[in-house]
Amino acid sequence: MWSNYMVQTEDDGRIGVGGIGLHGGVAGLAGVKGGGRAARRIPKMSDSQEGKIKLAFFVAIVGVTLTVLGVGTEFWVELATPKTWSNNQTCQTAYYGLWKGCTRTLWVDDIDPERESCGPADLPGESNCTYFKFLTNGDNAVIFKKTTQKNLNIAAAVLALMALSMMVMGAICIIMSLSKGVPFFLKPASFCFILSGLLVLLSILVFHQSVMALLSTDHSIPLHHELSWSVACLGFSGAILILGGIIFLILSLPYSPWEKCLPQRNSSAT
User: In 10 A of CB 72, how many CB atoms?
Assistant: 12
CA–CA dist 94, 81 (Å, integer): 9
Domains of the chain (ranges, CATH numbers): 47-252 (1.20.140.150)
Percentage of the chain lying above the pLDDT 90 cut: 37
Measured in degrees and rounded to the nearest 5, phi and psi for residue 106 equal -115, 155
Identify which of 22-26, 83-87, 224-228 has the greatest average pLDDT. Answer: 224-228
CA–CA dist 122, 184 (Å, integer): 47
Task: Band the pLDDT of 261: cuts 50, 70, 90.
Answer: low
Among 109-113, 206-210, 245-249, the least confident range: 109-113
Instruction: Write the pLDDT tens digit of every residue in 56-90.
Output: 999 999 999 999 999 999 999 999 888 877 667 88
First to last CA, the chain: 83
